[in-house]
Structure 1
Amino acid sequence: MHADVHHLLHAAEAVELHSKAGEFRLPRASLRARIGWTLVEVGLRLTAQGRDTAATRTAAFHPA
């Protein structure tokens, strides 16, 4: 097969595959936003737990 013909067939197949893949792709902004807000929520929970744990440790070493 001639190189030019092979290249044209490959390019046509690539375009077709890209269009089919686009049908199944999730919107990136939505996915990024969900992951971002999930990470924020986890971070807030970890800092709240850290504050509670630090207060408990401080109270244990310095009784009132």
Structure 2
Amino acid sequence: MRLEIHLALHHVRAAELRAEADAYRLAAEARRPRDLRTRLGWALVEVGLRLAATPKPAAAIP
């Protein structure tokens, strides 16, 4: 294969990968606030369930 053709194909593929990475990064940035909100919500649910659960009797230490 001629070097010029190989180099041109390399540049095209690199541009495609850059565009794909940019699209993925933008999608991830748009998704982050909801993920954080969801994790915080589930953490609050877990804390609430622990507070509402009946306390276990303390084990006696001999």
Which TM-score bucket, shorter chain as reference? Answer: 0.5 to 0.7
TM-score, scaled relative to structure 2:
0.61
Mark the runs of 5 or more structure 1 residues left unpaired by the alignment.
none
The total of aligned residue pairs comes to 55
Tell me: CA distance 1:23–1:7, structure 2 relative to 1, closer, same or farther (3 Å): same
Moved over 4 A (4+): 22-26
- Give the structure with the higher percent helix: 1
Match of 1:48 in 2: 48
Aligned-pair identity in percent equals 23
Mark the runs of 5 or more structure 2 residues left unpaired by the alignment.
58-62
Q: After TM superposition, list the pairs within 5 Å mapping 1:22-37 onto structure 2.
A: 25=24, 27-37=27-37
Alignment root-mean-square deviation, CA? 2.5
